[in-house]
């Protein structure tokens, strides 16, 4: 009697939750886009899931700006919009997997846990051979006490407690049923919803590297756990730019248009402020100057908005695993008066660089009617950028 052929392995999909804004971390951008070891936090989890041999497709749940920042998605991956709550986001991802059968397997992972390894995924998928749900857990090493206000109470027995991590693994049909019956139920993870069905959830060994990014100081912890060098150096760059004032052109300074009788002449929009800032950042990176990256001989940059150049320089910092600590811009002009526009210029630079407003300084001065700026023939700008860069 011939043996029957083994059943094919079930398909495996991943859901990567990246819809939160991470305000507790205090970063200027969503925490999942904060650079860690030269790439965004989100990219660590995305690469780990997309690179696993067993996972054939995935859904990244994120706002459009996050999805655009991480584009293109790996092959087989699609995006879905986040919901108001975590389980709403998972529900949107499940809807995106509507054509998958209930016998498929699914991993649900939080992008704020970048230390995902293939071993963890392997353990969770192996557990689903005999179960409908599996989660990674770690023991609680600290003494626990009940607390009221600032008063410590009785010690809580930690022997029966565990720390729950993600990814969490489920049979897709089980997770669908759990979410379908969860209307009005508040849950901090999907395993809670599955247990409400009376389905057993298997606990598998987790991994300390799955530490969650919640506060800014968690970045240093994650860098240590992931073996990323944390030694940094301070780099300072200076930029200077000049453009001639001419009639018949708009005047752009610091990323905003200012009403004036004359505008600045140049190959792009001739924004002296953003050009000086771009050169300052590139100088701190020892990465050439604006003309190296955007040569005026190239027609594609004719009339280009200078915020593109500054955003490019900021991207070069992020790619190095660095951050912009501070920028200081001085506009040198007899007219127009820059003072009334300083708040708008600071806000615009803060937005382009994705750094807090308090890290942006904008000043203005004249040359007491001396020189070309004093004669109102042109406007100049000088800038200093201070970066924090990882040691090689």
Per-residue pLDDT, 7: 67
Give SS3 for 275.
Answer: helix
CATH topology of domain 12-225: Spore Coat Polysaccharide Biosynthesis Protein SpsA; Chain A (3.90.550)
**Please, where are the H alpha helices in 288-340?**
290-293, 307-319
pLDDT at 4: 58
**The whole model's pTM is what?**
0.61
Q: Count Cβ atoms within 10 A of the Cβ of residue 28 and give its class: 0-12 exposed, 13-18 middle, 19 or more buried.
A: middle
3-state secondary structure labels for all residues of 97-143: CCCCCCCCEEEEEECCCCCCCHHHHHHHHHHCCCCCEEEEEEECCCC
Query: What 3-state class would DSSP assign to 155?
Result: strand
Half-sphere exposure in the Cβ direction for 95 (13 Å, CA): 13
Residue extent(s) of CATH 3.30.1330.50 domains in the chain? 232-390
One CATH from 2.160.10.10, 3.30.70.270, 3.30.1330.50, 3.40.109.10 for 232-390:
3.30.1330.50
User: Per-residue pLDDT for the chain (392 aa), expressed as one digit of tens each?
Assistant: 455 556 678 999 999 999 877 667 777 788 899 888 878 899 999 999 999 999 999 999 999 999 998 888 999 999 999 998 999 999 999 999 999 999 999 999 999 999 999 999 999 999 999 999 999 999 999 998 889 888 888 998 888 899 999 999 999 999 999 999 887 788 889 999 999 999 999 999 999 999 999 988 888 899 888 887 656 789 999 999 999 999 999 999 999 999 999 989 988 999 999 999 999 999 999 999 998 999 888 888 888 999 999 999 998 888 777 889 999 999 999 999 999 999 999 999 999 998 889 999 999 999 999 999 999 999 999 999 999 887 65
Inter-CA distances, 371 with 47, 200, 333, 363, 379, Å = 55, 80, 11, 19, 11
Q: Is the N-terminal amide bond of 336 cis, ω within 30° of 0?
A: yes
- Asked whether the beta carbons of 16 and 82 are under 8 A apart, the reply is no
Residues of the chain with CATH 3.90.550.10: 12-225
């Amino acid at each position: 009697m011939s043996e029957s052929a083994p059943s094919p392995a079930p398909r495996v999909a991943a859901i990567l939750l990246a819809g939160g804004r991470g305000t507790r971390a205090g970063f200027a951008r969503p925490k999942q886009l904060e650079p860690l070891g030269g790439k965004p936090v989100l990219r660590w989890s995305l690469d780990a899931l997309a690179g696993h041999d067993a996972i054939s497709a995935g859904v990244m749940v994120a706002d459009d700006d996050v999805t655009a920042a991480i584009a293109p998605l790996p092959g087989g991956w699609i995006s879905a919009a986040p919901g108001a709550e975590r389980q709403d986001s998972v529900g949107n991802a499940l809807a995106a997997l509507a054509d998958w059968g209930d016998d498929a397997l699914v991993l649900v992972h939080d992008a704020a846990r970048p230390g995902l390894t293939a071993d963890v995924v392997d353990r969770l998928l192996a557990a689903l051979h005999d179960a409908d749900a599996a989660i990674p857990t770690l023991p609680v090493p600290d003494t626990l006490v009940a607390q009221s206000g600032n008063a410590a109470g009785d010690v809580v027995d930690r022997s029966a407690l565990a720390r729950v991590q993600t990814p969490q693994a489920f049979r897709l049909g089980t997770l669908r049923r759990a979410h379908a019956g969860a209307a009005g139920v508040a849950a901090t993870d999907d395993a809670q919803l599955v247990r409400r069905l009376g389905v057993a959830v298997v606990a598998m060994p987790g991994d300390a590297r799955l530490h969650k990014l919640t506060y800014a100081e968690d970045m240093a912890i994650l860098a240590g756990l992931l073996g990323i060098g944390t030694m940094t150096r301070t780099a300072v760059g200076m930029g200077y730019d000049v453009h001639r004032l001419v009639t018949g052109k708009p005047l752009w300074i610091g990323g905003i248009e200012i009403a004036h009788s004359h505008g600045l002449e140049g190959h792009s929009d001739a924004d002296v402020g953003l050009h000086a800032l771009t050169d300052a950042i590139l100088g701190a990176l020892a990465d050439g100057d604006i003309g190296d990256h955007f040569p005026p001989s190239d027609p594609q940059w004719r009339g280009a908005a200078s915020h593109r150049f500054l955003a490019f320089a900021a991207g070069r910092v992020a790619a190095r695993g660095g951050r912009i600590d501070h920028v200081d811009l001085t506009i040198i002009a007899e007219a127009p008066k820059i003072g009334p526009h300083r708040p708008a210029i600071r806000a615009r630079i803060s937005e382009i660089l994705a750094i807090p407003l308090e890290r942006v300084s904008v000043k203005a001065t004249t040359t007491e009617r001396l020189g070309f700026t004093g004669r109102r023939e042109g406007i100049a700008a000088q800038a200093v950028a201070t970066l924090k860069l990882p040691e090689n």
